[in-house]
Structure 1
Amino acid sequence: MNQKSGTSKDAADKLVKGIKRKTRKQYSAEEKIRIVLAGLRGEESIAALCRREGISESLYYTWSKEFLEAGKQRLAGDTARQATSPEVKELRSEATALKEVVADLTLENRLLKKSMIGDGEYEA
């Protein structure tokens, strides 16, 4: 009987962990920034802030470190950022259009040169 109760307890633990994982709150970037800035202001202790927000202190310190690293990179002049998918598509289509324009102008330039060579006026 001990094996049976132990197996059902393991299954119950897995079920509870799965439910907790699926119902975990996801914080937006704005919420994370708000919480980190509240901690940096120092108006209340980090422990009290984390209790109020329902997060662990280690999570707060992780967010704080990421926030400060991003600020440091920005101040150092690293302004590169992740491009969104629509931006990438737009830039690719613009690049394709510009390449077509360059190809057309190159072809037109060559035709003009050939026509001038044929007339005997241009030799380079």
Structure 2
Amino acid sequence: MRQKSVPEGSADKHVKDIRRKTRRRFSAEEKIHIVLEGLREEYSIAEQCRREGIAQGLYYTWKL
């Protein structure tokens, strides 16, 4: 298999762009909304975190 020659800088930039896009930022209002939904206990915390796409540890950090 033949490899294309790619300048080193462009590959590094591409990887950084991918990493940057995977992080999500939540506003204070979004965090409050998610925590209040968890306190209502309509769904388990695990289910809520799956729906919101966050880790349970992050939820409990916000809850403090």
TM-score normalised to structure 1 length:
0.37
Amino acid at match of 1:25: R
Amino acid at match of 2:59: Y
Residue 46 (structure 1) aligned with residue 45 (structure 2): yes
Structure with max Cα Rg: 1
RMSD after superposition: 1.7
Amino acid at match of 1:32: K
Residue 63 (structure 1) aligned with residue 62 (structure 2): yes
Q: Which runs of 4+ in 1 moved over 6 A?
A: none
Residue 33 (structure 1) aligned with residue 26 (structure 2): no
Report the 3-state secondary structure (helix = DSSP H, G, I; strand = E; otherwise coil) of the residue aligned with 1:48: helix
How far 1:25 moved relative to its partner?
1.1
Amino acid at match of 2:57: S
Counterparts of 2:53 and 2:63 in 1: how far apart (Å)?
A: 16
Q: Alpha-carbon deviations, 1:51-97, whole Å to 9, x = none?
A: 000000000000001xxxxxxxxxxxxxxxxxxxxxxxxxxxxxxxx
Structure in which a larger fraction of residues adopt helix: 1
* Structure 1: tracts of 5 or more residues without a match: 1-10, 66-124
Counterparts of 2:39 and 2:63 in 1: how far apart (Å)?
A: 9
